[in-house]
Structure 1
Amino acid sequence: MSGAAISTTPEPIPEFKQVLGHPRPLWMLFMTEFWERFAFYGIRWALVLYIVAQFYDGSGAGEAPANRLYGAYLALIYAASLFGGYVADRLIGPQRSILIGAVIMSAGLFMIAIPNEQVFRIGLATIIAGNGLFKPNISTMVGKLYPLEDPRRDSGFTIFYMGINAGAFVAPLLTGWLAEHTFGGSPDMPAYKVVFLTSGVGMLVSLVWFWFGRRQLGGVGRPPEGAEGRTRSLWVAVGTIAAVPLVYFLLTIDAGVLAWILGLLFVALCVLILTEGVREGAVQRDRALAMLIIFAFNVLFWMFFEQAGSSFNFLAQNIVDRDLSGWIFPVGWFQSVNPIAILALGPVFAWLWVRMGKANPSIPRKFGLGLIFNGLAFLLLMFALSSLVDDAGKIPFWTLVAVYVIQTVGELCLSPIGLSMVTKLAPVKLVGFGMGGWFLSTAIGNNLSGIFASHVSGEGGMTVASAHAGYTFGFWILIGLGALLFLIAPLINRLMHGVK
């Protein structure tokens, strides 16, 4: 594809009005992402449960295929970011990419409310195609609000990450309540249709919010020089819609085959980023290599973290004791534990990274901490499933809540720092593409998460034994990788040439 030439130097940063110590547009991007994440997390808790209830008549045999489809859906959500980053970098800029993506995502969310399996999968494919244009580019624009060496940069990304999780906190509570109390829904059979419709409305709010708020950005995120007309935007919209059948096909193939496809894409991305790094000099080459090494560890973090939308839902439904003095805690509400923990702990981490100054752990060691805390969450599940199971085959309510909180600590060590890392280490001409690479590594992890979750559920549905075996495996992998990353952190730091 041809594209307008892009400067090898960063875009000049306008003089933004400061609000609460950060550029004013950060708060507009915060709210845009809040509503997009509301839409995303509004359906996240319901997808695998809906697939089993609607298309497998509630049979436990549907859990494994539901997990694999969910993993493929998440994987393609993130993989599409690779192409969305390229489109923004070379064709139409982040602002227009976000607008087009929001429109297409909204359409997909309304489509999955139709109770037909083919239409449901086409709707998922439409969401994926639109999200590819939205997801990498709004994160990239946060990085464009700050000079490269601005000490507020990590703090700004953590604040932005709180916007993500504010939407993620509200969405399951609202959609879960609506599913059980409207359209004839009940705790035994939620009205999933209202979940999907409510999420579609949330995506429309995100679109409108950005449409009016983008004036605050000035020139940040505008189309590349020579591409200011709207013809390219029209072609991008048409091309994105035309890609939906391909995405639909990828959703239907075997998860193992999809893993190979994503792996090949990742290898191609590594070659492209390293080639550009070499062109920009030895320092940028080394930084790109450091970034790609961390991407590899990122794969395994998300493989186990993303059980939240798959096997943890079946764990909550089948094995966790949700009876709280006669009131049954909704399965979907467990999804709000992680974001509320982030809202509580996010400001602490934002303050901590600044407060620690020179003692602030390096990026590789923050990633190592993320893996270790994720592993400790699985250690708690191992203990609960081996020592705390009651006569009814249930584990205590508090254990799954604690698992989400422990995972949150690991996530805060890794995920917002990863977004910031890409904007610091990626070759200047490929920052958006580098952000797509970050999401591609997450995509591979998410696809593997679906495969892993399908093994946890087994052929007939999750049992205490199958869950214990699967989560024990997850613990040892995460602890081992975290320790390895701590050991090789000095080598990665040398490759980063002073980037903190």
Structure 2
Amino acid sequence: MTAESKSPTLEPVPPMNGDPPAFGDLMGHPRPLWMLFMTEFWERFAFYGMRWALVLYIVAQFYGGEASGQGDASRTYGAYLALVYAAAIFGGYVADRLLGYQRSVLVGAAVMAAGLFLVAVPNHTVFEIGLATVIIGNGLFKPIISTLVGKVYTQRDERRDSGFTIFYMGINLGAMVAPLLTGWLADKVFGTPEIPAYKVVFIASGVGMLISMAWFWIGRGALNGVGAPPPGAENPMRIVLVALGAIVAIPVAYFLLAIGAQALAWILGVMFIALAVLLLVEGIREGKVQRDRVIAMLIIFLFNVLFWCFFEQAGSSFTFLADEIVNRQFGSWTFPTAWFQSVNSVAIIVLAPVLAWLWVKMGRINPSIPRKFGLGLLFNGSAFLLLMFALSTLVSDAGKIPFWTLFMVYVLQSVGELCLSPIGLSMVTKLAPVRLVGFGMGGWFLSTGIGNNLSGIFAGLVSGEGGMTVASAEHAYTMGFWILTAFGVVLFLIAPLVSKLMHGVK
């Protein structure tokens, strides 16, 4: 048993507003953590099961396999991811004020499953309606399941960061298994490596989402009322009204997908400003300390945008890089492109317990939240440095770079992700105003979404008009290295100021 799974001895403290009921421990953490862990496992199975195939499917199905479709596929992918996370703002509000967290998770799961099955229909309009449906469902589900993790710990429980890191392992277990299974189904069972059966990928993902919904439905009693509807919101008719609202919202998401990534970037920027104002108003209402904490959280959100802009090349430009420029041959066997999507998850699963243990073991010298974010940016930058090196000096006569280089790019990005993403989830539950924790979590996912939309725009530049080349990739990834490194250093320099604004939150 690792150090983070042992219950720390805590001094008795007065109960704080919003503290959960006392839960029994399982492996050193509150029992509901493990139910939420498996719910998220299956949701991430669904999400990542389709992720690797999305840009390849768009090019194959709607562009006849022509490389000229890569730019549009990347921008569609980035806009889809952006809206998935942006929808979390409204999902957080619905959960906080209308439905409660438990019912929001269940409604969101049902809507997501419907969308995944629609994506499998080989018609461009229906395909994008399916993506829009997944967007709306994920908005109701994603920020809320993370918020529930924070709510099963007391405000002063030192296990919170460790618990979020363990929860993050559930995310990555699902993300690891999904490409392996759906890639095998697409290539070996229902198709061939030359003509994968992408529709099967989307159907399998829909089945995974149904399992996630059933798991939460059966296990939600373990929460002992945490996440139940707020007072006055118990009426079941609210579920019907939210479901109807989701149906109305789907055409809006479809429109936002259709307007293009550049226009969407402006809309998301306005949404972020509006969210920041609302959080600041609530923070000011609660006093100077809460106001400063909101300011610190918003500063971190801005650096989060930058991290995900480059990290999410994994599902767009890195996919085309793997498919066309990476040497995947091992004798007579070809490493499937889909399996690269599992490298990140394997690295997270291997390294997450190490970092979870390390954060606890370091105790008082544990790096501050902003410095952990700075490390995330620098590790992400080191991945692009490796690509710079490979594309400038290791290209073979056949125009390929070695397999190990892209493999290690995913590993380096995973270390950066561990320094940043689970810590960010925990940060929001500690810095957001108590009445708007779900809304604050929506803000975290909106900042991630803005980064994802920019990732699609950036990936479109990597591919250019005629498809990716060694020269276009080297030029773009060099730019990525310098941007990430510069802003990582800036965050390290301003970390003391940001920590001061947090007023003791670690």
Q: Would you call these one fold, judging by a TM-score over 0.5?
A: yes
CA RMSD of aligned residues (A): 0.6
Q: Does structure 1 residue 61 correspond to structure 2 residue 85?
A: no
Instruction: Tell me the CA shift for residue 188 of structure 1.
Output: 1.4
Q: Distance between the aligned counterparts of 1:206 and 1:10, measured in 2?
A: 31
Q: Distance between the aligned counterparts of 1:264 and 1:12, measured in 2?
A: 34
Partner of 1:397: 403
Partner of 2:348: 342
Partner of 1:358: 364
Instruction: Tell me the CA shift for residue 242 of structure 1.
Output: 1.2
Partner of 2:103: 96
Instruction: Tell me the CA shift for residue 182 of structure 1.
Output: 2.0
Q: Does structure 1 residue 451 correspond to structure 2 residue 460?
A: no
Q: Distance between the aligned counterparts of 2:261 and 2:19, measured in 1?
A: 43
Partner of 2:57: 50
Q: Distance between the aligned counterparts of 1:188 and 1:369, measured in 2?
A: 40
Q: Distance between the aligned counterparts of 2:17 and 2:102, measured in 1?
A: 17
Partner of 2:291: 285
Q: Is the 8 A contact 2:321 2:468 kept in 1?
A: yes
Instruction: Tell me the CA shift for residue 247 of structure 1.
Output: 0.4
- 3-state DSSP of counterpart to 1:356: helix
Q: Does structure 1 residue 119 correspond to structure 2 residue 126?
A: yes
Partner of 1:129: 136
Once the two structures are aligned, what percentage of the paired residues are identical? 72
Partner of 2:112: 105
Instruction: Tell me the TM-score normalised to structure 2 length.
Output: 0.97
Q: Does structure 1 residue 140 correspond to structure 2 residue 147?
A: yes
Q: Distance between the aligned counterparts of 1:165 and 1:476, measured in 2?
A: 28
Q: Distance between the aligned counterparts of 1:440 and 1:12, measured in 2?
A: 26
Partner of 2:491: 485
Partner of 1:168: 175
Instruction: Tell me the CA shift for residue 211 of structure 1.
Output: 0.3
Q: Is the 8 A contact 2:111 2:137 kept in 1?
A: yes
Partner of 1:434: 440
Q: Does structure 1 residue 230 correspond to structure 2 residue 236?
A: yes
Q: Distance between the aligned counterparts of 1:476 and 1:484, measured in 2?
A: 12
Q: Deviation per CA, 1:409-456, whole angstroms, max 9, x where unpaired?
A: 000000000000000000111100000000000010000000000000
Instruction: Tell me the CA shift for residue 480 of structure 1.
Output: 0.2
Q: Does structure 1 residue 460 correspond to structure 2 residue 462?
A: no
Instruction: Tell me the CA shift for residue 254 of structure 1.
Output: 2.0
Partner of 2:300: 294
- 3-state DSSP of counterpart to 1:392: coil
Partner of 1:193: 199
Q: Deviation per CA, 1:318-346, whole angstroms, max 9, x where unpaired?
A: 10000011101100000000000000000
Partner of 2:7: none
**Count of residue pairs the alignment pairs up:** 491
Q: Is the 8 A contact 2:76 2:260 kept in 1?
A: no
Q: Does structure 1 residue 31 correspond to structure 2 residue 58?
A: no
Note the residue ranges of structure 2 that are not aligned, 5 or more in a row.
1-15
User: Amino acid of the residue matched to residue 91 of structure 2?
Assistant: G
- Which residue, 347, 367, 377 being the options, matches 1:371? 377
Note the residue ranges of structure 1 that are not aligned, 5 or more in a row.
1-8
User: Amino acid of the residue matched to residue 450 of structure 1?
Assistant: G
Q: Does structure 1 residue 383 correspond to structure 2 residue 389?
A: yes
User: Amino acid of the residue matched to residue 205 of structure 2?
Assistant: S
Q: Distance between the aligned counterparts of 1:13 and 1:77, measured in 2?
A: 29
- Which residue, 479, 495, 500 being the options, matches 1:494? 500
Instruction: Tell me the CA shift for residue 181 of structure 1.
Output: 1.2
Partner of 1:4: none
Q: Does structure 1 residue 407 correspond to structure 2 residue 413?
A: yes
Q: Deviation per CA, 1:109-140, whole angstroms, max 9, x where unpaired?
A: 01111111110000000000100000000000
Q: Does structure 1 residue 73 correspond to structure 2 residue 68?
A: no
Instruction: Tell me the TM-score normalised to structure 1 length.
Output: 0.98
Partner of 2:314: 308
Partner of 2:252: 246
Q: Is the 8 A contact 2:19 2:155 kept in 1?
A: no
Instruction: Tell me the CA shift for residue 148 of structure 1.
Output: 1.1
Q: Distance between the aligned counterparts of 1:455 and 1:227, measured in 2?
A: 48
Q: Is the 8 A contact 2:325 2:401 kept in 1?
A: yes
4+ aligned runs moved over 4 Å, structure 1 = none
Q: Is the 8 A contact 2:18 2:434 kept in 1?
A: no
User: Amino acid of the residue matched to residue 122 of structure 1?
Assistant: I
